Structure 1
Amino acid sequence: SLLDELIVHSGIDNTPFVLDKIKEFGFKYSTVSGTTWGLDNISLSPEKPRIIAEGKKLEEQIISQWSEGLLSEEEKYQKIIEIWTHTKKNLEKVLPATLDKNGSAYDLFTSKARGNMGSLTQLVGMIGLIQNNQGKILEYPIIPCYFEGLSPIEYFTITHGARKGASDTALNTAKAGYLTRRLVDVAQDVVVTEEDCGTKEGIVVTKENISGIEIPLSKNIRGRVLAGDLKDKNGKILYHKGFLITKEEAYNIEGAGFTEVFVRSPLTCKTVHGLCVQCYGLDLGRNRLVEQGEAVGIIAAQAIGEPGTQLTLRTFHAGGVAGTDITTGLPRVEEIFERRIPRNPAVVSETDGEVIEIKAKDGKEKVIKVLSDSKADGKSNEMEYNVTFHRTPIVKAGDKVKKGQLLTDGSADIAEMFRLAGKEVVEKYIISEINKVYELQSASISRKHTEIIIRQMFSRRKIKDAGETNFSVGDIVENTAFIEENQRVVEINGKESKAETVVLGITEVSLRTKSWLSAASFQNTNRVLIENAIKGGVDNLRGLKENVIIGRLIPAGTGFKNSFVPEKEE
């Protein structure tokens, strides 16, 4: 935010000098301050024995309940972990008081220069619960802190977690790198190719609440172009259609009490090859309207893939509930973009209607009954949904539900949701799910990037009726190929083909591209080359990869120059 203000105030050319001055100022005074610290700067809290004793007492109660058969093994495990997590939190609260307000340790922690509450807790509080190398939390906490010293067995136990952390990081980097490669491959041919596609469509952007994290409206609309006039309560036009919302205007719109704004989006762009300037909006790197020839697809792929290394790899157990495995972090991002079916998917409503009742069935299963709004043969429809014991209903009797709405916790099967509720609902769901993963790891990315990848996931159609085109029924073809082939047939008064939009995972989309050079250099090389040799595939060299492969200038940046306009043959 300081950088933002500096660039606005001093311009992009002068900012580096200001930053250098800040750096020199910081180095000079941290050198002359001579800040040092040792063991005598920190001390143990006199409250620790009392807090630990309370924790042990609660733990003993749980163990006696378990030995009497009142608790299961799983419940005992969960409760003991809750007790020690809570105990460590209580200890954390009393630790800041142990620091001398004039001491250097206090300065280091409070100025955020080095260390945080977590490191202070391990130094003078307790080390607490640790994981074994399978990622399972052990129910025996390590009560001493580093200041008091550990016994050999305690020290040995900690080394497991430390080693796992180091090896996880290495694995994580490779996985994130592979995800980035697939994202780049699916979006590499998305280049800004025209000024305005002339669409009247757009998306409605609102403020979001993701697992308790508030994402303001201003953040979501900044850098977007309005798809319609923005009017106040009295009908007075504040901003006209086509207005680019800057950072200041975004705050003004939010301050004026607007809760939703209708903006242009890559999801609704009608440009046949690539995107148009108006649907993309602001170039986030340069803070001005995006230029034609900008390779926004690759930027989107890198923006999503780069924080991937920070995302966690583990599937963790939600506290207190046995058996709910929630996939988070990198595997969740991959699951969504590859359109995989989640284990124990959430139950999705097939109609608009009202929940009548939720009743328990034999065992742990439940049944949700929904009264549908659409009537068939004069009778009202009652739909029953079986909920497996892995899932918990998130609706209650009397709630109104919409087609495609989740009735239980868990992750939805995207293909199923698309079949029931259509494209818009799925687009919203994917954006919010991807946002959730990144926001929870405090690595936020612009929605625009996610939208470009989603646009690619919906960029294929399945042929229902081939008409007089070169397609066969059941072929999955690119939207661009479908539009061009139909135009060709119409010009010779032939019958057009008919197709339906399908949603595919990113690897599948990459392999079903019209460019066989791009597909063959990605995966399944033999299959792609053999198929294209049989049918005489033609590569028009529209994307970036194909041109790199044969050594031509890529059709982006300075090599763009309307390379999408076919050259007239002499």
Structure 2
Amino acid sequence: VCTAFNADFDGDQMAVHVPLSREAVVEAQRLMLSTNNMLAPSSGFPIVSPTLDMVLGMYYLTGIDSEQLTPVEKDEDGNPKYKMFANFDDVQLAYDTERIKLREMIKVRDEAGEWIDTTVGRIIFNRTLPEEMGFRNHLFTRSEIEALVGESVNDLGNEITAVMLDKLKDVGFKYATQSGTTIAMKDIVVPPQKQSLLSAADTKISRLDEQYLEGLITESERYKAAIAIWTDVSDKMTKAVEDNLPSYGGIFAMADSGAKGNIAQIKQMAGMRGLMSDPKGRIIEMPIRSSFAEGLSVLEYFISTHGARKGLADTALRTADSGYLTRRLADVAQDVIITTEDDPGAQGILITDEGQSGIQAPLVDRIVTRYLSEPIVHPETGEVIADRDELITRELAKEIAEAKVKQAWVFSPLSSTTQRGISQKCYGASLATGSPALLGEAVGIIAAQSIGEPGTQLTMRTFHTGGVAGKDITSGLPRVVELFEARQPKGMAVLSEIGGKVELAQLPEGRVVRVISSEEFSEEMDIPATHRQMVKTGDWVDAGEPVLSIKKTAKAAAVKAGTYDELQDEITATVAGTVQVTKTAVRITWNEIDEREYVIPAASEILVADGDTVEPGHALTDGPKNPQDILRIEGQAAVQRYLVDEVQAVYRSQGVQLHDKHIEVIVRQMMRKVRVDNPGDSDLLPGELVDRHDYEYTNNNMLAEGGEPATASPVLLGVTRASLNTQSFLAAASFQETARVLTEAAVNGSVDRLNGLKENVIIGRLIPARLDLSEEGRKRLGIKEGDRKAGLLTGFTKAPATFEEALAAIGGTELIGVGAEVGPGRGSDTVAAAASAAKLSSGDDDGLRAAVSALSDAASSRESSAGSGEDDAARAAEALRASTSTAEENPEPAPQFVDEGAGENGSPESSGDSKNGESENTGE
């Protein structure tokens, strides 16, 4: 569980929480226990898995001795000759009596009676696995072990996996010890190609310097080329080190098994340290040629200290920055809770195999745990693999991958149209369980945590490659923050606002890219029998110029018939253009040309060539795109896709697994608002930011009343602005700028509907995220259907009635917890209601009598006159307070749990449901 708690053994402390109420105990047992949380909610991959020494032990156990890889003895057919055994038990006996070695290849009959080539180690390893998993006859590295644990969780469940993991741990430690793995200087082999690689690079660098001195290249071009040369040498050196590592050595075993370290670190030990950056982040041109095995010169040592200090400073800063990002994400998404099962208005989004960023997850990993919005059809056979509204499980995802499907339409948090929270259909399944997300699950908080938690693993670096004209490439955590805050990125790309042909030009003000869009339109005029054309094909006509004139014969006939007034002597062109004449018509075609000119900054590299055709939103220069530009030019779907792909690119480049749906939840919250362009007949203001649902509601009302609806454009807000623009002023005030938020709320007379988590925590209510809202949730919590009483917590613990509820009974409004509809002429019910309330809040008989008499007076006076309600209310409240104080003086034992509707001493428990403003009487 160390991974999940991020715990290490350097003096870490942990809080101990004691759950008190019965609900809390059940929740801790069924939902929070580590055994029930084998999969990471961020990716759906196992979070409990052997690491470090355990991996090394299993790698040693399932490996083969190096001298065994080239066996000496062969049989007549040329196959290697191994010792043969009848079954696994014989092998174990032979090993125990030291007749064969642990990693020696042998031939043995397996459980099914088939001959297999394996080792003693693999047989011992397989004995720790459940029978259902079969015999695994291969070398196990860390990734293989993780896949094994994932398979076990999905196929066999948590309990069996927990037992298996415990056995794997023991085996791993035992054989790691037995392997006697050590590291010695002789394990670090300096590759023989090293010198030739370095001298080849030196030759290239001296050629570069000559070109620079001759004035053929600029300083920044020389610098960039030098960096490229050394980067290439570094990559080749890594390959050389890898090829020359002795496969029996401890260093190789640790890196190859995935227990610790990687080839890049071994390259620094055996090959060369490579390029370092200075304190500003600019890469130092002079690489460190020595490796740690050979030892560094004084100058090289000082160059390398730059990187070391930067690394430590980064780690300290990163922790704080990552924590702050998590807080902002949690704040923007805290009210995203699964509120409904279906969402009839939802439209799917298209997920394709090729993303915008180079490092892209395969299609199946991005669609698993989602519902399909369109069926998936096999590309070759045409059969339906999965239908609309079907949940894509891991098994189904494998089928889709085997069919080589290239795209899928799925429901996503981005497509949800629910006003509050999100629908189960759009969210899909919970990654932690693989089953559909339950009603009341706080998926917003899960998303914020999943994105924020690996933030500390992301790098903080901004690379500067070049002098004055160099660009900064923002990567790692700052890039993620930049995307979620929807900021204008540094050195951003110039985007084409229209589609068309590209023309490059060099003007005095700099390089210019022109995009010319030319669209052809045409208009056709029929030639009547009475007219003839005055123009021929290829002629140019202006608007108003005559195109057709009346024939003399037709004119004479019309004069004779007296219809001449109805005919036009000449029919003119309504538009200017080129003429095309056919037998029956004259067509005028014209082109509408739209031209945009972009001045390109000196430092930018142009990505288009003369004569290229571009689409709207196409990048004309290199650099990151500005999300606001994408929204303006290409629209909402394009900017949502861009943000998801770009955030994923950063996480994947650091090897962090994260499902797209978490990022989509946050992006959805960033696009909640629209900006009013034209208010129409509504009471909205131009330029006002309004919630998308409020805007649609206002417009529907306008249309119903026959008024002119408002128009608005979508807005992309950064997470900080989106948190402060939330509908709950309590949540916004608890986030940042408290005084400003509260004064604005007071001035506007804002109402907080208490829909999110934070606002309820602030005022001490139960949060709306609770799993007892659906049948599946109650099953997981172990609540029997009869146990759950509406209005009570979850059916275990009795909810006390409040003074306000008793007063509500006198006031004539409904009483939560009692189904009696109280009003004029229902005096006895009022008394019953108050009696029940008092009984719940105290259990003291004298106090109860006082409350009942006060309330019966109130009821009778209410029937006779409606005037003295307030005094009666005060008396009732006084009586109730007295009853509670008496109860405090004579404390009773703690209330017992309610069982199937029976109260204490078997008296019926009154409880009603106050949902939707109706109440039903479940008491007697």
Task: Calculate the TM-score normalised by the size of structure 1.
Answer: 0.90
Kindly indicate whether the alpha-carbon contact (under 8 Å) linking 1:457 and 1:504 is maintained by their aligned counterparts in 2: yes
Query: Residues 168-567 of structure 1 correspond to what in structure 2 (within 5 A)?
Result: 168-199=314-345, 201-209=347-355, 211-232=357-378, 236-317=383-464, 323-351=470-498, 353-362=499-508, 365-373=511-519, 378-386=590-598, 387-464=600-677, 466=679, 471-483=684-696, 499-558=712-771, 567=916
Give 1:153 shift: 3.4
Determine helix, strand or coil for the equivalent of 1:215.
Answer: coil
For 2:481, give the aligned amino acid: E
* SS of aligned partner of 2:674: strand
Aligned in 2, Cα 1:318/1:288: closer, same or farther, shift over 3 Å? farther
CA offsets, 1:293-350, max 9 Å, x none?
1111111112222222222222324699953333222222222221212234322232
After the TM superposition, which of the residue ranges 84-93 and 464-473 deviates more from structure 2?
464-473
Q: Give yes or no for the alignment of 1:160 onto 2:306.
A: yes
Which protein shows a greater Rg? Answer: 2
Change (3 A) 1:355 1:547: same
User: C-alpha separation between the residues in 1 aligned to 2:385 and 2:190?
Assistant: 60
- How far the C-alpha of 1:169 sits from its partner, in A, is 1.1
Asked if 1:94 corresponds to 2:271, the answer is: no
CA contact 2:346–2:417 (8 Å) conserved in 1: no
2:149 alignment partner in structure 1: 3
Q: Is the 8 A contact 1:266 1:279 kept in 2?
A: yes
Stretch moving more, 538-547 or 39-48: 39-48
CA distance in 2, matches of 1:374, 1:190: 48
In percent, how many aligned pairs have the same letter? Answer: 41
Mean CA deviation greater in 106-115 or 513-522: 106-115
Q: Which string of whole-angstrom CA distances, capped at 9 and with x for unpartnered residues, describes residues 165-200 of structure 1?
A: 011111112112111111111111111100101125
- Structure 1 counterpart of 2:596, one-letter code: E
The answer for unaligned runs of 5 or more in structure 2 is: 1-146, 523-574, 576-589, 775-789, 792-913, 920-924
**Distance change in 2, residues 1:315/1:102 (3 Å):** closer
Q: Which amino acid aligns with 1:349?
A: S
Task: Please tell me whether the aligned partners of residues 404 and 425 of structure 1 are also in contact (alpha carbons under 8 angstroms).
Answer: no
Q: Sort the Cα spacing of 1:318 and 1:446 in 2 relative to 1 into closer, same or farther, 3 A.
A: farther
Distance 2:244 2:404 in 1: 46
Q: Amino acid of the residue matched to residue 341 of structure 1?
A: Q
For the residue of structure 2 that corresponds to 1:288, the secondary structure is: coil
| Structure 1 residue identity aligned to 2:669 | Q
Return the alpha-carbon distance in structure 2 between the equivalents of residues 494 and 69 of structure 1: 71
Structure 2 counterpart SS, 1:370: strand
- 1:429 maps to a residue whose letter is Y
Amino acid at match of 1:444: Q
Instruction: Specify whether residues 4 and 360 from structure 1 end up closer, same or farther in structure 2 by C-alpha distance, changes over 3 A only.
Output: farther
Q: Which is further off, 368-377 or 483-492?
A: 483-492
Higher relative contact order (CA 8 A, sep 6+): 1
- The 3 A distance-change label for structure 1 pair 368 and 255 is farther
Measure how far apart 1:371 and its partner are.
1.9
Pairwise CA distance, 1:242: 1.0
Q: Distance in 2 between matches of 1:274 and 1:439?
A: 28
Q: How has the CA–CA distance of structure 1 residues 509 and 325 changed in structure 2, closer, same or farther, with 3 Å as cutoff?
A: same
Determine if the alignment matches structure 1 residue 83 to structure 2 residue 295.
no
CA contact (8 A) 1:371 1:383 kept: yes
- Give a deviation string over 1:459-481, Cα, whole Å, max 9, x none: 11223455676643332122344
Shift of 1:399: 4.2
Distance (Å, rounded) in 1 between the aligned partners of 2:752 and 2:203 = 73
**What is the SS of the residue equivalent to 2:160?**
helix
- 1:485-538: per-residue Cα shift (whole Å, max 9, x none)? 667888999886554432222211111111111111111111111111112111
Paired amino acid for 1:438: Y
Of 110-119 and 94-103, deviating more is: 94-103
Contact 1:202–1:227 (CA under 8 A) maintained in structure 2: yes
Matched residue pairs, number?
A: 569
Contact 1:342 1:413 in 2 (8 A): yes
SS in 1 for 2:714: strand
Does the 8 Å CA contact 1:366/1:388 hold for their aligned counterparts?
no
* Aligned twin of 1:114: 260
Structure 1 unaligned regions, length at least 5: none
Aligned residue identity for 1:300: A
In structure 1, how many angstroms separate the alpha carbons of the residues matched to 2:332 and 2:669? 7
**What are the superposed Cα offsets for residues 521-561 of structure 1, whole Å, 9 maximum, x if unpaired?**
11111111111111211111111110111111110024768
> 1:228 is aligned with what amino acid?
E
> Which residue of structure 1 aligns with residue 138 of structure 2?
none
For 2:490 and 2:252, locate their aligned partners in 1 and report how far apart those are by CA, in whole Å: 48
Q: CA-to-partner distance for each residue in 1:237-281, whole Å, 9 max, x for gaps?
A: 443221111122122223324322111121121211111111111
In the alignment, the residues of structure 2 paired with residue 482 and residue 160 of structure 1 have an alpha-carbon distance, to the nearest angstrom, of 55
Structure 1 SS opposite 2:595: strand
Q: What is the one-letter code of the residue matched to 1:88? A: S
Q: Deviations over 1:373-419 (max 9, x none)?
A: 47698432142331323333334455443333333322222223222
Shift of residue 31 of structure 1?
0.5
Superposition RMSD on alpha carbons, in Å?
Answer: 3.1
